[in-house]
Amino acid sequence: MAFNLKNKNLQKVRRHLISPRLDEFFSGVYRLYKFILEFFKQLFRPPFEMQEVARQCYEVGYRSLPLISLTGFIIGIVFTKQSRPSLQEFGASSWLPSLISIAVIRALAPLVTALIAAGKVGSNIGAELGSMKVTEQIDAMEVSATNPYKFLVVTRVLATTLMLPVLMMYTALVAMMGSYLNVHANELTSLRSFLDSGFSTISFLDIFSSIFKTMIFGFTIGIAGCYQGFNATQGTQGVGRAANAAVVASMFMIFVEEMIIVQIVNAIR
């Protein structure tokens, strides 16, 4: 009898612990769904804040160039150095430009660009909107007859969605230049033969899939940062949590989306 009472009490405790967590999880999913749905509703409604979109594109794109340039250049050199010994064992050093171009354009450039943007841009968006939320600046915009969602969220998500493919192509270019310098220093390969060999294995599907991937990644980074910032609470601590949650959520979703898109592209290929 006592054993049965203990089991019943444990079941009640588990229900009390698990049920609120499940409710919180599904309510969070529903709020995120409404947040994304609101973006597509506001996207095609005037006024179109083109000046703010251009400013956010500048913030996302131009201000990310130094970090993107350094990272892309190092990736090109390091990946070339790591790949050369393996190819030399099979007497296939001439395939090195093709290998580098395939790896960079199909996988490395989109993923590295997205992760850098998630860490830099996503945290900035989460912290900026979070600070505006806890200091009631967003409420003040509503009072002044300005749509805060349109001005703050739509512009930032558009900027990340549009600029990430541009940054990805720039990252791929810088990485290829770093790889060429390493190949030229070891094999004295000309730039023309390097590019001919490298891009001979790249198809339109590779380029299109990389651009499509980075657009999805950019949308994810923008939505994650804006959602966390718009829902920040509890003062300055909430701002820090919003920035951290924006980075963690966007990085996690980037890896999930990468896995799904790779499977779809491989099925098409």
Query: What does the chain look like in DSSP terms, one character per residue?
Result: -HHHHHHHHHHHHHHHHHHHHHHHHHHHHHHHHHHHHHHHHHHTSSP--HHHHHHHHHHHHGGGHHHHHHHHHHHHHHHHHHHHHHHHHTT-GGGHHHHHHHHIIIIIHHHHHHHHHIIIIIHHHHHHHHHHHHTTHHHHHHHTT--HIIIIIIHHHHHHHHHHHHHHHHHHHHHHHHHHHHHHHHH---HHHHHHHHHTT--HHHHHHHHHHHHHHHHHHHHHHHHHHHT--SHHHHHHHHHHHHHHHHHHHHHHHHHHHHHHHHHH-
pLDDT band at 20 (very low <50, low <70, confident <90, very high): low
pLDDT band at 5 (very low <50, low <70, confident <90, very high): very low
In a domain, 6, yes or no: no
The structural domain count of the chain equals 1
> Quick check: 254 pLDDT over 90?
yes
In a domain, 3, yes or no: no
> Quick check: 24 pLDDT over 50?
yes
Least confident segment among 25-39, 146-160, 254-268: 25-39
Give the pLDDT score at 182: 87
Give the pLDDT score at 15: 53
Residues in the chain: 269
Per-residue pLDDT averaged across 5-14, rounded? 49
pTM of the model: 0.87
Give the pLDDT score at 191: 82
State the Cα–Cα distance between residues 100 and 78, nearest whole angstrom. 11
Per-residue pLDDT averaged across 39-68, rounded? 87
Q: From the centroid of its chain, how far is CA 152? A: 19
> Quick check: 10 pLDDT over 50?
no
In a domain, 7, yes or no: no
List pLDDT tens digits, range 208-244.
999 999 999 999 999 999 998 888 877 777 788 888 8
In a domain, 138, yes or no: yes
More confident residue, 163 or 96: 163
Considering only CA atoms, give the Rg of the chain.
23
List pLDDT tens digits, range 167-197.
999 999 999 999 888 888 888 788 888 888 8
pLDDT band at 7 (very low <50, low <70, confident <90, very high): low
In a domain, 155, yes or no: yes
List pLDDT tens digits, range 99-125.
888 889 988 999 999 999 998 998 899
Task: Give residue 164's domain range.
Answer: 46-268
What is the share, in percent, of the chain residues with pLDDT greater than 90? 29
Q: Which two tokens stand for residue 183?
A: 């190949």
**Region at 145 (left for phi over 0; alpha for psi -120 to 50; beta for the rest):** left
CA–CA–CA angle 68, 70, 74 (5° rounding): 115
Least confident segment among 23-32, 81-90, 192-201: 23-32
Q: Which two tokens stand for residue 212?
A: 């499509």
47 upstream amide cis, omega within 30 of 0: yes
